[in-house]
């Protein structure tokens, strides 16, 4: 940045409102430009800032700057100062918002700026703690009562007439009407200094998005405790004929007392269409967050009901347990379509110990058709109570508006998370609105206006063109034992197959294989063309009369896996997943499935597979998930085949006999984003190889030879990325 910083950009910088790249440009310029350093005095009363400027002035006059050290902590504090450091000056405000043409190239986004003032009505603004589409949130103090509160300020210059202002008023009204232990409480609202504001109770703790980022997946008990409280609060909301419409981890706050609070009712609407509040909703606007949005919500927010919140809470439950969202695609629109079209992943795929009661609760909450879902939050609470009472770990205090008395586990969970969270943090395309006028930047691709209009049109008008034969399933939750499976995430879930009808020959092959598999101790999943996926089938009598494809085969009965047995599968054309885990396997067995090019998931953990046996999978070019954990016969030599599987996104090598040499063979698998090398001989020598996995998001290294310094180096490297999160276990 050669030219001086514009007033507008400098003010945004002091308000900490710039993206990371622009912030670094401004910081670098301020370190070198005495003129811009001097201009900061207009906006700040900070003595340390003046000290820093004097230090640089002495440096300019020939003094050795090393004799005037200024710590990075101090610089960070100065350069991230918030609105409390800005003088309340009308002339300064007018000057600061004047555009500067020579700096327009580095203003990457145009958002309304928070009013540069320190006092709103009776409230002293302390620091900004979050910003969303409608408002900016400050930690504040009541000037007379000296009580700490949170103040949400409307982020809109034309505040008197806009729909955005009306939505803000709606949030005031909604929060003011609700009084429940699991919903954030409003304490005041009003208008001051040409804007409107909402005051809420100050919560000491962290939102679940922050906790997940720092801690990773939660324990089953903790996740159920959180889910129960959230469901209870939402039932209270639904009882008032309201729908939240934006349930996600960042809108659920866990206090240091272990209590869950539902945040952000800015998108909430009346359950009955045609209401005055619902009229505020733009029909060209998709409201909600793409990762958690129910299929029907993407089509029309006018006709949704409480079951959309149930779907969103189900997606949140999945993330609490696994650390990942159930559907993740490259763009928001593709993610929304995946919610409608792709099969719901199983919790057991990543969490083998999950009780079936909870597996089926999630599956019921995440049904595509609202009529097939569990129908009320009260039912969700009832099922969770059944599980928690069985665990006998958490006491329940039942009242008319019940909520869970949290265990020490949740309190400690929150206390371990050291970052103060932004109340409305919205990053990584989790914004609550997608309008035709927006432009979304994601994974370095820009979805321009035309794309949003076209794809929104597809969602609202054209997505129904696929005619489906809905298979009637029993949505009543069953109780049984946990489903054993691999811990790995299912990165790409198969779509319900909209292929042309089966030929009679292929239909016979599929049915023959299904019958054979069920006779040989397997469980299978099938898909009817143009229809829905069937539940897991364990007996031949459960097979339908209509034609079907075999999608998943799991060898559940312990048996020797031979080439002869697997050759029975060779005629399948749409086999997606093959589970051979915990069964001994012969070296030549996998040669029989080398032609199954549709295969995407292969589970070989604890099978005794050898390097030679693994070599037969080289032709499975569409493989995305591979589990080899607990196979001591897999060495570095065996990993050579991994280099040929370019679509691999999830790889489990835990407790194999590999070392640094083996990681050389996977460093060029650029799509890998989930890797487990726990209990291996991999050391710090492999840090350089791991850094080449540019999409890596989850890395498990516990029990390996990687040192604490190596873990920190890996963590620091991947945390610098702006567009992807990163989780490493153990944490540095």
Active site residues: 246
Rounded CA gap, 594 and 585, in Å?
15
- What are the C-alpha distances in Å from 34 to residues 5, 25, 57, 269, 518? 12, 16, 7, 52, 78
Q: Which residues contact 324 (CB under 8 A, 6 or more apart)?
A: 318, 350, 489, 698
Report whether the peptide linkage leading into residue 54 is cis, meaning its omega lies within 30 degrees of zero: no
Instruction: Give bridge partners of residue 445 from the DSSP assignment.
Output: 442
Rounded CA gap, 582 and 385, in Å?
33
Rounded CA gap, 196 and 194, in Å?
7
DSSP state of 460: I
- Helix, coil or strand: residue 185: coil
Decide if 194 contacts 165 (C-beta within 8 A). Answer: no
DSSP state of 214: H
Rounded CA gap, 289 and 373, in Å?
20
Instruction: Give bridge partners of residue 54 from the DSSP assignment.
Output: none
Q: What are phi and psi of 651, to 5 degrees?
A: -135, 125
Rounded CA gap, 668 and 646, in Å?
8
Which among 494, 659, 643 is positioned nearest to 578, based on CA atoms? 494
Count Cβ atoms within 10 A of the Cβ of residue 720 and give its class: 0-12 exposed, 13-18 middle, 19 or more buried.
exposed
95 is in an annotated binding site: no
Exposure string over 335-362, b if 16+ CB within 10 A, otherwise e: bbbbbbbbbbbbbbbbbeebbbbbbbbb
Angle at which helices 20-32 and 72-79 pack, to 10 degrees? 110
Rounded CA gap, 520 and 558, in Å?
10
Q: Which residues contact 387 (CB under 8 A, 6 or more apart)?
A: 224, 355, 357, 358
- The token pair at 655 is 């407790």
Decide if 585 contacts 628 (C-beta within 8 A). Answer: no
Instruction: Give bridge partners of residue 201 from the DSSP assignment.
Output: 149
Count Cβ atoms within 10 A of the Cβ of residue 35 and give its class: 0-12 exposed, 13-18 middle, 19 or more buried.
exposed
- What are the C-alpha distances in Å from 229 to residues 265, 567, 568, 674? 17, 50, 49, 31
Rounded CA gap, 7 and 29, in Å?
14
Query: Which helix (H) or strand (E) is 75 found in, with range?
Result: helix 72-79
Sign of CA dihedral 594, 600, 604, 609: positive
Decide if 357 contacts 477 (C-beta within 8 A). Answer: yes
- Helix, coil or strand: residue 549: strand
- The token pair at 530 is 């143009």
Instruction: Give bridge partners of residue 698 from the DSSP assignment.
Output: 674, 727
Between CA 611 and CA 617, with CA 614 as vertex, the angle to 5 degrees is 150
Decide if 671 contacts 649 (C-beta within 8 A). Answer: yes
Please report, in range form, the residues annotated as the binding site for ATP.
152
Please report, in range form, the residues annotated as the binding site.
152
């Amino acid at each position: 940045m050669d030219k001086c910083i514009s007033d507008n950009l400098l003010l945004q910088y002091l308000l900490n409102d710039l993206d990371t790249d622009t912030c670094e440009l401004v910081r670098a310029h301020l370190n070198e430009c005495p003129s811009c350093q001097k201009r900061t005095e207009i906006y700040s009363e900070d003595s340390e800032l003046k000290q820093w400027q004097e230090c640089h002035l002495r440096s300019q006059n020939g003094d050795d700057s090393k004799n005037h050290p200024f710590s990075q902590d101090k610089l960070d504090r100065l350069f991230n100062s918030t609105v409390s450091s800005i003088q309340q000056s009308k002339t300064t405000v007018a000057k600061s918002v004047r555009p500067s043409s020579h700096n327009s190239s580095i203003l990457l986004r145009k958002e309304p700026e928070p009013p540069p003032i320190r006092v709103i009505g009776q409230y002293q603004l302390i620091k900004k703690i979050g910003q969303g589409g409608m408002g900016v949130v400050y930690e504040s103090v009541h000037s007379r009562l000296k009580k700490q509160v949170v103040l949400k300020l409307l982020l809109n210059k034309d505040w008197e007439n806009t729909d955005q202002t009306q939505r803000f008023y709606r949030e005031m009204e909604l929060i003011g009407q609700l009084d429940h232990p699991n919903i954030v409480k409003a304490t005041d609202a009003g208008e001051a200094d040409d804007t409107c504001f909402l005051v809420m109770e100050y919560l000491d703790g962290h939102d679940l998005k922050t906790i997940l980022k720092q801690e990773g997946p939660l324990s089953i008990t903790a996740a159920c405790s959180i889910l129960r409280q959230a469901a209870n609060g939402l039932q209270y909301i639904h009882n008032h004929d309201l729908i939240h419409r934006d349930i996600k981890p960042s809108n659920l706050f866990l206090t240091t007392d272990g209590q869950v609070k539902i945040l952000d009712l800015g998108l909430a609407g009346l359950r009955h269409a045609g209401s005055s509040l619902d009229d505020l909703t733009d029909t060209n606007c998709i409201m909600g967050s793409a990762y958690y949005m129910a299929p029907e919500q993407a089509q029309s927010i006018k006709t949704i009901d409480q079951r959309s919140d149930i779907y969103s809470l189900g997606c949140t439950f999945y993330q609490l347990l696994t650390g990942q969202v159930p559907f993740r695609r490259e763009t928001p629109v593709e993610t929304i379509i995946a919610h409608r079209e792709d099969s719901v992943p199983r919790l057991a795929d990543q969490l083998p110990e999950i009780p079936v009661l909870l597996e089926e609760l999630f599956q019921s909450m995440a049904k595509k058709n609202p009529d097939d879902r569990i129908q009320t939050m009260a039912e969700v609470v009832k099922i969770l109570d059944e599980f928690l009472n069985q665990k006998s770990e958490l006491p329940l205090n039942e009242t008319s508006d019940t909520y869970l008395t949290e265990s020490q586990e949740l309190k400690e969970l929150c206390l371990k998370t050291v970052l103060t969270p932004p109340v409305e943090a919205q990053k990584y395309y989790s914004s609550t609105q997608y309008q035709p006028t927006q432009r979304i930047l994601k994974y370095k691709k820009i979805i321009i206006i035309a794309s949003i209009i076209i794809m929104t049109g597809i969602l609202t008008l054209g997505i129904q063109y696929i005619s489906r034969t809905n298979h009637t399933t029993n949505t009543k939750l069953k109780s049984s034992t946990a489903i054993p499976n691999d811990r790995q995430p299912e990165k790409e879930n198969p779509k319900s197959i909209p292929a042309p009808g089966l030929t009679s020959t292929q239909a016979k092959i599929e049915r023959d294989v299904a019958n054979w598999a069920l006779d040989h101790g397997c469980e299978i999943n099938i898909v009817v063309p143009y229809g829905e996926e069937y539940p897991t089938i364990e007996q031949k009598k459960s097979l339908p009369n209509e034609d079907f494809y075999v999608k998943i085969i799991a060898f559940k009965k312990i048996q020797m896996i031979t080439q002869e047995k697997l050759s029975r599968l060779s005629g399948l054309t749409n086999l997606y997943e093959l589970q051979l885990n915990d069964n001994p396997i012969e070296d030549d067995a996998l040669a029989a499935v080398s032609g199954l090019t549709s295969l995407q998931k292969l589970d070989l953990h604890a099978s005794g597979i050898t390097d030679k046996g693994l070599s037969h999978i080289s032709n499975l070019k569409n493989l995305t998930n591979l589990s080899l954990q607990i196979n001591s016969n897999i060495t570095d030599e065996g990993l050579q085949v991994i280099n040929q599987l370019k679509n691999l996104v999830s790889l489990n090598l835990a407790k194999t006999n590999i070392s640094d040499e083996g990681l050389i063979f996977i460093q060029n698998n650029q799509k890998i984003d989930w890797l487990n090398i726990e209990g291996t001989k991999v050391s710090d020598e492999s840090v350089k190889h791991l850094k080449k996995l540019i999409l890596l998001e989850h890395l498990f290294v516990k029990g390996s030879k990687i040192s604490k310094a190596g873990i920190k180096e890996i963590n620091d490297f991947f945390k610098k990325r702006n567009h992807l999160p990163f989780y490493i276990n153990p944490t540095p």
